[in-house]
Amino acid sequence: MSRNDFASVKRIVVKIGSSLLTKGGQGLDQVAIKAWVKQMATLRLRGIEVILVSSGSVAEGMSRLGLKTRPTLLHELQAAASVGQMGLVRVFDDNFQQHGLHASQILLTHDDLSDRQRYLNARSTLLTLLNFGVVPVINENDTVATEEIRFGDNDTLAALVANLVEADLLIILTDQMGLFTGDPSVYSDAQLISEISVNDDRLDSMAGDSRSGLGKGGMSTKVRAARLAARSGAATVVAAGVVENVLEAVIDGVDLGTHFLPDIEPLVARKRWLAGQLQVKGQLVLDAGAVKVLKTEGKSLLAVGVKSISGQFDRGELVSCLDETGLEIARGLVNYGYADAFLIAGKSSSEFAAILGYADDSEMIHRDNMVVI
């Protein structure tokens, strides 16, 4: 995706770093946040869905608690995050309401996205919020995350969210102009890189760690985030958040910051992930009508078209779809675990509530979570 194509994007993830949000640790920058929210509201009016990944809970908590340096003990970080999250939620909600928009708070841990059922739940919730016109504000759940499940930085979280919702573009706002050929504070001849492939071998040597001490991220985490986002075909732009109307400028194709090319089409990336990187946990045998719909019309798989089920699987796990001869025609993430799927196989979605005692997704497998073999 070239910069000229950004105007056609439909869904973006915006990540704003701690140093920007808190004026270098002095407390939330109300003026800057107001300007960023105004830009995101403008993008919503242009038909672009926006998800915000916000750093700053720990930094804001440090400011409120009078801490001069970032805590190193996990429970102190969690306490600071708990205090700071209150300020973050309030300021974003107040500003989005001024533009007639609702915001929502979502706190995630790595465990939420590594577990297939919780992954699917998180995806469904986010997509539903976007359908309602809400701007989700996401942060790592620092108050409960342990070292084993922490994302480590919100650049990584933002990239995983881009994968989760199949965003077209990830925009990371930072206190740097972008990626340089070397550290500009050390090398006077360092040049800003306008565009580079995520697969370029030079990236590892050019990216450095954070020097602010406020957040966990540096340019190295942004390179890693760009590579993660590329797994689902999303492009990434790293740009200075202080640039006037920076979000609108990026979408309008202005040459600022560093554009990381994913070098892979989104559909190809998702097919590769579904078809090759997940373990198949079960099989669904489909009738001829369902097979035709999947192969020729690209629609979702409904339970009414399922003749039989085998294997043991939970909601969100990968299952194989077979025709009546046993030929595999598709793979996808199933919306119901084995026990419930067995009960509703061959049934209309209008019968789910009576059979299961609840009604969740109307599809057995949504087309966005399926690849036809």
SS (H, E, C) 116-161: HHHHHHHHHHHHHHHHCCCEEEEEECCCCCCCCCCCCCHHHHHHHH
Reading the block at residue 195, the tokens are 């565009």
pLDDT single digits (tens) 83-103: 888 888 899 999 999 999 999
For each of the domains in the chain, give its residue range(s) and CATH number, in order of start: 3-266 (3.40.1160.10), 278-372 (2.30.130.10)
**142-151, 180-189, 209-218, 225-234: lowest mean pLDDT where?**
209-218
pLDDT over threshold 90, residue 57: no
Percent of the chain with pLDDT over 70: 89
* pLDDT tens column, 328-348: 999 998 999 999 999 999 999
Residue 211 has what pLDDT?
47
**Chain center to CA of 305:** 32
Q: What value does the mean pLDDT take over residues 167-196?
A: 88
pLDDT mean across residues, the chain: 86
pLDDT-wise least confident of 86-100, 120-134, 178-192, 288-302: 178-192
Q: Which residue has the higher pLDDT, 274 or 128?
A: 128
Closest CA to 284 of 182, 201, 198, 365: 365
Separation in Å, CA 278 to CA 150, 271, 364:
22, 11, 18
Distance, in Å, from the CA atom of 12 to the CA atom of 258, rounded to the nearest integer, reads 16
Instruction: Give, as one character, the DSSP assignment of residue 105.
Output: E
Q: How far is CA 189 from the centre of its chain?
A: 35
Q: How far apart are CA 20 and CA 29, in angstroms?
A: 8
Distance CA 282, CA 223 (A): 36
- Whole-number pLDDT of residue 59: 79
Nearest to 369 by CA among 106, 8, 127: 127
Edge to edge, what strands does the sheet with 328-333 contain? Answer: 306-311, 280-286, 318-322, 328-333, 370-372
Strands 306-311 and 280-286, by their bridges, are antiparallel
Cα–Cα distances in angstroms (integers) from residue 368 to residues 165, 239, 298, 308, in the given order? 10, 30, 10, 23
Residues 7-40: b if buried by 16+ CB within 10 A, e if exposed: eebebbbbbbbbbbbbeebebbbeebbebbbbbb
**Pair 301, 294: CB distance under 8 Å:** yes
DSSP sequence for 332-345 = EE-SS-HHHHHHHT
> Contact, 300 vs 308, CB < 8 A?
no
Strands 169-174 and 195-197: unpaired
Residues contacting 308, CB < 8 A, separation 6+: 284, 285, 345
- Band of pLDDT at residue 355, cut at 50, 70 and 90: very high
Helix 154-165 to helix 219-230 angle (10° resolution) is 10
Average pLDDT of the segment spanning 211-233: 72
338 near 319, Cβ under 8 Å?
no
Q: Stretch 273-292: mean pLDDT, rounded? A: 83
Q: Which of 19, 296, 14, 18 is nearest to 159 (CA)?
A: 14
**Of 279, 290, 348, nearest to 320 (Cα)?**
279
Res 149: pLDDT: 39
pLDDT of residue 45: 95
Amino acid letter, 83: V
